[in-house]
Structure 1
Amino acid sequence: MSGKLEAADLSIGEGQGNETGVKTRAIGELIQDARNLSADDLDRIGRYQRENDLRFGEAAIALGLADTEDVLQALAQQFKYAYADEETRKAAPELVMLNQPFGHQAEAFRAIRSQILMRTQSENKGQRRPLAVCSPDSGDGKTYFSANLAVALAQLGGKVVVIDADMRGARMDQVFGVTGGAGLSGVLSGRGGKGIVKAVPGIPNLYVIPVGVQPPNPLELVEGPSFGMLLREVSIKFDHVIVDTPASCYGSDGVVIASRCGSALVVTRKDANKVSRLQELVGSLQSGQVRLAGVIMNEL
């Protein structure tokens, strides 16, 4: 088994992200372009705006010259904030941070993001470790949580990579709409890692390493030296590393992965898991010298 990783393997998308030195366009200009508004339309909006003490977007909506979607898209462009269009929302319904950025679920993810950043930075003295997301059982929402947490972190501007280490039920490629091909299983089995880091369409600063081909020996692969080397490499190149793991009901993969990461967060579903199963998972993580960032109760 080869443990060697080439530097070029993890350099996909270098330089992608928010541009600097680019003049921010006014929201009126963005809506004008989106709706192809005429000079007369802009005059009408301006007068209505002044007469009713409204924002440009509010006045445009009131006059029927724009809708809420136009304003949200313009705000997203103005603040360099990832926000999905209608087509993307249909293709990736689980990404609430992208599809419903002003909803209560997105606010919950922001609150969790803040807690995780404060705890991990404090515990690790400013050096953040990869964060493994674990769960007692399948269907707890672990992949859903991992994906949305990654989007939330990317919206802060740092480079984020999600590693799909759930080699028993991988879904990250579907959730993020990335192409298949080479993935984690390939590099861990020594078949090469070229092209495994894939940029997520429509979300600056966010990347994913999918599983690739589902292997017959997932536990042996994550216990091997190549996985530790991969984690060290991505920790250098990315600001945040989120690792999705198999549910503990499938075996010890999740605990092993978390011990390699050094930090973990547990997701469990309300009214679905026994307390004893959750306690067993938390105990296993703590026995493996894993710093527990917290336990999330999924109420969906």
Structure 2
Amino acid sequence: MSSHSAEDVRPAALHDRAIGDIIAEANKLTADQVERILAHQKSHGLRFGEAAVSLGLAKGEDVLWALSQQFHYPYAAGTGPAPSDELVLAAKPFSDQAEAFRVLRSQINMKLYSADAPRRAVAVISPDKRDGKTFFAANLAIAFSQLGGRTLLVDADMRSPRQHEIFGLDNSSGLSGILSGRSETNVIRPVRDLPSLFVMPVGTLPPNPTELVERPAFALLMRELVTKFDHVIVDTPAAVHGADYAVIAARCGAALALARKGVTRVAALQGLVGALGNTPTELAGVVMNEH
């Protein structure tokens, strides 16, 4: 699967295909059906996509997908297996929830990715299980990938990993194999329909996750990954499991703390953030998750 840098998307190429052509091709419309749509479009003063939906020859999601193709904005639009409901930026990229992730992406960009800033990965951390780290890290990674730069999502939750499940990826090998010194190949998986996004799953669950992330190999790996990808987002175990999250955040260089509305206690969040004070980790912010 190919990937593209931001420089590959030229402004002059944004409208290189008419939306009508994209809709017609995707829905296998006949010449007669296209003529019907054009006539309906003209007589009712509609856009091509609106006319096609009005005549029952296309669906609303078909039009959104065509727009995404026209503007080089990849997302999963039903051409293959349906994406997990948790991947809102892949399944519902124009929703209010998706827009909230784009706003957060912009804030992180401004805080962490200035021209003279060191290259860093971003660890997503939270006090407890079921705070939404997997959901949050996955969608944040998709948001960055939709900018066009190569983005890697690393599942470093070697306690209860789920990224491979929500993306539907093979988990036979991954991060744990690299850190334990086993010979691992093809541990980075491309994501279907999202050509700039890649995922490194956990692989086999190890009996010693804290020791693995404390090894020099993990720090070396993170330094290598941030040179090969434009953005690296890292999912972590909950703080309730121990020190894993703080070690991972320190190796990443930056962290985004997550609290769950109506669930996370202030003292737990303060302890989570306070633990980073003794590390070189830069706190990118604290986010309240309502999902």
What TM-score, normalized by structure 1, do the two folds share?
A: 0.89
Q: Would the aligned equivalents of 1:177 and 1:201 in 2 still touch at CA under 8 Å? A: no
Choose from 247, 253, 262 the match for 2:244. 253
Return the alpha-carbon distance in structure 2 between the equivalents of residues 258 and 289 of structure 1.
9
Amino acid at match of 1:16: S
Matches within 5 A, 1:149-188: 149-188=140-179
Could you give the per-residue CA deviations for residues 19-57 of structure 1, whole angstroms, max 9, x where no partner exists?
779893211112112233232322222232233322110
Q: Which residue of 2 aligns with 1:115?
A: 107
The structural deviation recorded for 1:175 is 1.4
Q: Which residue of 2 aligns with 1:41?
A: 33
Could you give the per-residue CA deviations for residues 237-273 of structure 1, whole angstroms, max 9, x where no partner exists?
1000011110000001000110111100001101101
What TM-score, normalized by structure 2, do the two folds share?
A: 0.92
Q: Would the aligned equivalents of 1:286 and 1:292 in 2 still touch at CA under 8 Å? A: no
Choose from 274, 281, 285 the match for 2:272. 281
Query: Secondary structure of 1:162's partner?
Result: strand
Return the alpha-carbon distance in structure 2 between the equivalents of residues 20 and 133 of structure 1.
29
Q: Which residue of 2 aligns with 1:10?
A: none
Choose from 235, 241, 247 the match for 1:244. 235
Q: How many pairs align?
A: 286
Return the alpha-carbon distance in structure 1 between the equivalents of residues 164 and 27 of structure 2.
34
Amino acid at match of 1:47: A
Q: Which residue of 1 aligns with 2:180?
A: 189
Q: RMSD of the alignment, in Å?
A: 2.0
Amino acid at match of 1:280: G
Gaps of at least 5 residues in structure 2 are none
Return the alpha-carbon distance in structure 2 between the equivalents of residues 126 and 40 of structure 1.
57
Could you give the per-residue CA deviations for residues 106-143 of structure 1, whole angstroms, max 9, x where no partner exists?
01001001001111024x72443000110000000011
Could you give the per-residue CA deviations for residues 131-161 of structure 1, whole angstroms, max 9, x where no partner exists?
0110000000011000000001101100000
Amino acid at match of 2:38: G
Return the alpha-carbon distance in structure 2 between the equivalents of residues 168 and 108 of structure 1.
28
Q: Would the aligned equivalents of 1:84 and 1:98 in 2 still touch at CA under 8 Å? A: yes
Does structure 1 residue 202 correspond to structure 2 residue 189? no
Q: Would the aligned equivalents of 1:89 and 1:99 in 2 still touch at CA under 8 Å? A: no
Q: Which residue of 2 aligns with 1:53?
A: 45
Q: Which residue of 2 aligns with 1:26?
A: 18
Q: Which residue of 2 aligns with 1:5?
A: none
Choose from 121, 135, 138 the match for 1:144. 135
Return the alpha-carbon distance in structure 2 between the equivalents of residues 118 and 192 of structure 1.
38
Amino acid at match of 1:148: N
Could you give the per-residue CA deviations for residues 186-230 of structure 1, whole angstroms, max 9, x where no partner exists?
110111232111111221111111110000100110000100111
Q: Which residue of 1 aligns with 2:74?
A: 82
The structural deviation recorded for 1:79 is 2.0
Q: Would the aligned equivalents of 1:131 and 1:263 in 2 still touch at CA under 8 Å? A: yes
Q: Which residue of 1 aligns with 2:207?
A: 216
Return the alpha-carbon distance in structure 2 between the equivalents of residues 139 and 87 of structure 1.
31
Return the alpha-carbon distance in structure 2 between the equivalents of residues 69 and 89 of structure 1.
15
Query: Secondary structure of 1:204's partner?
Result: strand
Farther-moved stretch of structure 1 (275-284 vs 113-122): 113-122
Q: Which residue of 2 aligns with 1:93?
A: 85
Gaps of at least 5 residues in structure 1 are 1-12
